[in-house]
Structure 1
Amino acid sequence: MQTSSAKRIVFFILFLSSLNTFAQDSIYVRKTINKLTSTFFWGRGYTKEGMNKAADFLSTEYKKIGLLSINGNYKQDFSFPVNTFPGKMLVEINDRKLIPGKDFIINNESPTTNKKADLIKIDSTKFQASPDLEVILKDKLTWSVATEASEKTTIELNKKTVKEIPKTIRVDIESKLIPDFKASNIYGFVKGTKYPDSILMITAHYDHLGGMGAETYFPGANDNAAGVATLLSLARYYSKNPQPYSIGFICFAGEEAGLLGSRYFTENPLVPLNKIKFLINLDLVGTGESGMTVVNASLYPKAFALLNEINTEQKLISKINPRGKAANSDHYFFTEKGVPAFFFYTQGGISAYHDVFDKPETLPLTEYNDLFKLIVSFNKRIVQ
């Protein structure tokens, strides 16, 4: 029988060991974010095989971690249309060549365009060259993904870097609509020791915006390399520490194109949705100076109260803000199917979002360790 002093020593050693584990996984998370935001994955999007390369990388990581697969395959394949920009991306204003992503972006539905024209001022922010080519001045440039192409090209200019009044424009842009772009959700799990048919699910989307032309891509460090890296670190933990319930992990494709991967999964589930006890979706979790927000907090008040109780006990996140139902990430279609789900995102730090400045070197990962501990503790108590 151990003395109280001996017990305290053992506890302290275990505590230091756990801190070291978190520190080691912080290094793993940072390396993973750096890798996923590299030029090799080209924004994990629709040109240069970016998304497919990321899917292969994640499948390999799942296998290294020791996650189980269904029928020997981590991938759930599906397809959807997407408008891509694989080549030329030239815009000149007043004979000055602009920098893609910094000086301008193009509307994501824009077609292939090659034209030189004078610009007519429509109002203080809008200029028009022709019915199918216009220029808009913007305070901030943010891009997204389109699943169709239009007949009109819109060029958005950054008012902070393009200060002259636009009078002439030259455009040479290559666009390609892919009607059946092939993508994959990546699913793996740790089998429960006592209730293997009941599942706690952790999800994050791994796709981002990809490239705008042959030389410019959107790294997507906070959105959502940080969420994927946190998911993988949790998978490493649970692989070494199996729980009574199974723990599932899904990295979704197609989120930026309209939550397409998670919608496909809920319509073609690899596991019965009624077996999922709770789902936590991670997106934009690379900061945390100003706390975090929980979407669906008002739908599941008992679960939200438990989350706050744990956070107060362990003194983790500075503030947890409640939010109601919102179709703003991959938790949404699970909620619509009756699966209890929270969507976590952090706040503070960098303001980069859907632009070329969402880079790993500016991502603070302020609350990674605390968020990790909060999720592990919540999963342990939500099923009690």
Structure 2
Amino acid sequence: MNSFIPVLRICSSLLPELIRLSGSIVTFNLPIETSSKECQNVMGYYPGEGQSTETIALVSHYDFLGDDPGGHRFEGAGDNAAGVATILEVSRQIASLPHKLPFNLLTVFTTGEESDLWGEKHLISNPPFPLSKTIYLDGLGRTPYFSLNVSYHWEDKNIINSLMSISRDMGVSIKVNESKAKGLFNFLITGTSTVKFRPYHTPDDTYELTHVNVLQEVTNLLVELLNVIK
């Protein structure tokens, strides 16, 4: 059975009073209601050249927190509308190419990420096709930079070399780890974190604070990478 820890969001206006009461016992009433709703992953498929059995998945989650009981809207621009928008643009550019890719491309927008990765778990246990490689985008555009964390199997070193070359030309830092899982090539593209300001899971995660140039840079990187993978 899964266990969940309640998370309490405190308005900044309450912080001075809570600091003043430091050392005192503060009691909160947290009525917890549990319910379940049906939700879906959304997928698109672009077949590769010939009868390719290789499938690469571009994955991003589209769910967020919505509105709280007080009417505050959590827009989720960086977490994770930015990832969804980037994959849509990559898909549009790939579909407009005059040639097909030598592999199938699966775009997946998962649900339930904020509720314990339900969409991702379902994708892993019930893939529509055997997935050769996955590329996951999350939290883009919140800072003027982005980072890549790559796990790969030694058989995929040619792809890693291409990725590192493209990243170097773009001035992007990349962290590479060899995976022990045979045949795996996974990497996460994410916004770099900052200690001073992390608006994720707050109403401040809005489009106005999104660095759109970062989304374009990630789009360019992915389109170029997908074009050099053999």
TM-score for both structures, normalised by structure 2 = 0.79
The match for 1:246 is 104
Are the structure 2 counterparts of residues 156 and 245 from structure 1 closer, same or farther at C-alpha, using a change threshold of 3 Å? closer
Cα distance in 1 between the residues matched to 2:206 and 2:137: 18
Q: 2:40 corresponds to which residue? A: 184
Q: Choose from 122, 125, 131 the match for 1:264.
A: 122
Write the distance in 2 (CA, Å) between the matches of 1:337 and 1:184.
29
1:211 matches 2:94: no
Q: Which residue of 2 aligns with 1:364?
A: 211
Amino acid across the alignment from 1:252: T
1:277 maps onto 2:111 in alignment: no
SS in 1 for 2:113: coil
Structure 1 residues 288, 309: CA separation in 2 closer, same or farther (over 3 Å shift)? farther
Q: Hey, what's the Cα distance between the residues in 2 that align with 1:173 and 1:224?
A: 27
Number of the residue aligned with 2:228 = 381
Deviations 1:68-123 (A, max 9, x none): xxxxxxxxxxxxx9xxxxxxxxxxxxxxxxxxxxxxxxxxxxxxxxxxxxxxxxxx
1:235-260 per-residue CA deviation (whole Å, 9 max, x = no partner) reads 22222224232211000112222222
Between Structure 1 and Structure 2, the one with more strand by share is 1
Query: Of the two, which has the highest radius of gyration?
Result: 1
Conserved 8 A contact 1:195-1:244? no
Q: Deviation per CA, 1:286-322, whole angstroms, max 9, x where unpaired? A: 246344222426876543332121233xx32x32230
Measure the CA separation in 2 of the matches of 1:325 and 1:263: 23
**Identity level (%):** 21
2:114 match: secondary structure: coil
Q: Within 5 Å, give how 1:43-54 maps onto structure 2.
A: none
* Counterpart contact for 1:298–1:322, Cα < 8 Å: no
Q: Is contact 2:142-2:209 (8 Å) kept?
A: no
Equivalent of 1:345 in 187, 190, 194: 190
For 1:318-338, what per-residue CA distance to the aligned partner results, in whole angstroms no more than 9, with x for missing partners? 322305489xxxxxxxx9695
The answer to whether the 8 Å contact 1:238/1:247 transfers is no
Inter-CA distance 148–209: structure 2 relative to 1 (3 Å threshold)? farther
2:225 counterpart letter in structure 1? F
Task: Give 1:170 deviation, angstroms.
Answer: 8.2
1:161 to 1:214, Cα distance in 2 relative to 1, 3 A: closer
| 1:289 aligned counterpart, secondary structure | coil
Greater RCO, CA 8 A, separation 6+? 2
- The two structures have a TM-score, normalised by structure 1, of 0.50
Q: Equivalents in 1 of 2:191, 2:56: separation in Å?
A: 21
Q: Please list every run of 5 or more consecutive structure 2 residues that lacks an aligned counterpart in the other structure.
A: none
Aligned to 2:83: 227
Cα shift readout 1:330-364 (whole Å, capped 9, x = no counterpart)? xxxxx969542111113278632222211111111
Other structure's SS at 1:279 match: strand
Q: How does 1:95-114 map to 2 (within 5 A)?
A: none
Of 15, 20, 25, 1:162 maps to 15
Secondary structure of 1:308's counterpart equals: helix
CA change 1:376–1:174 in 2 (3 A) is same
What is the rounded CA distance, in whole Å, between the counterparts of 1:239 and 1:252 in structure 2? 21
Shift of 1:210: 3.0
Measured in 2, the distance between the counterparts of 1:258 and 1:149 equals 9
Shift, 1:233, TM fit: 1.0
- Report the equivalent of 1:121: none
Does the CA contact (< 8 Å) of 2:152 and 2:184 recur in 1?
no
Q: Deviations over 1:144-174 (max 9, x none)?
A: xxx6567xx7755456752123479786665
> Structure 1 residues 288, 321: closer, same or farther in 2, change over 3 A?
farther
Equivalent residues in 2 for 1:322-341, closer than 5 Å? 322-324=175-177, 338-341=183-186
> Counterpart amino acid of 2:80?
N
Equivalenced residues, count: 221
Question: Relative to structure 1, is the Cα distance of residues 336 and 209 closer, same or farther in structure 2, using a 3 angstrom cutoff?
Answer: farther
Q: How far 1:268 sits from its partner (Å)?
A: 1.5
Closer/same/farther in 2, CA of residues 268 and 240 from structure 1, 3 Å limit: same
- Between the aligned partners of 1:253 and 1:171, the Cα distance in structure 2 is 31
